[in-house]
A = this chain, B = another copy of it.
């Protein structure tokens, strides 16, 4: 009988592969920043477990995340994902700006 640990109930190879890329790490950090920004503390504690935080990737904090994304985040309004979505909208969406 194999142990439950060896069965790795939370083993998630697609996620691990994703996290091993710089894009994957950034996206996980963006999601994590969203959870942190809105104080979704219960979600966050499960998220950290399920995404192997501090094992497969490290959340670098909001400021460094913005620097990595080259987002000029001088204000503190909203999660960083809102800025990313706005940038993406300018590129390909047909929304008027302002």
22 contacts between A and B (CB under 8 A): A12-B38, A14-B38, A15-B38, A23-B85, A24-B82, A27-B79, A27-B81, A27-B82, A30-B85, A31-B31, A31-B81, A40-B51, A42-B46, A42-B49, A43-B43, A43-B46, A43-B47, A43-B50, A70-B93, A70-B94, A87-B88, A88-B88
A18 contacts which chain B residues (CB < 8 A)? 38, 78
Question: Any chain B CB within 8 A of the CB of A60?
Answer: no
State the A residues within 8 Å of B (CB).
12, 14-15, 18, 23-24, 26-27, 30-31, 34-35, 38-40, 42-43, 46-47, 49-51, 69-71, 78-79, 81-82, 84-88, 90-94
A90 to chain B, nearest CB (A): 5
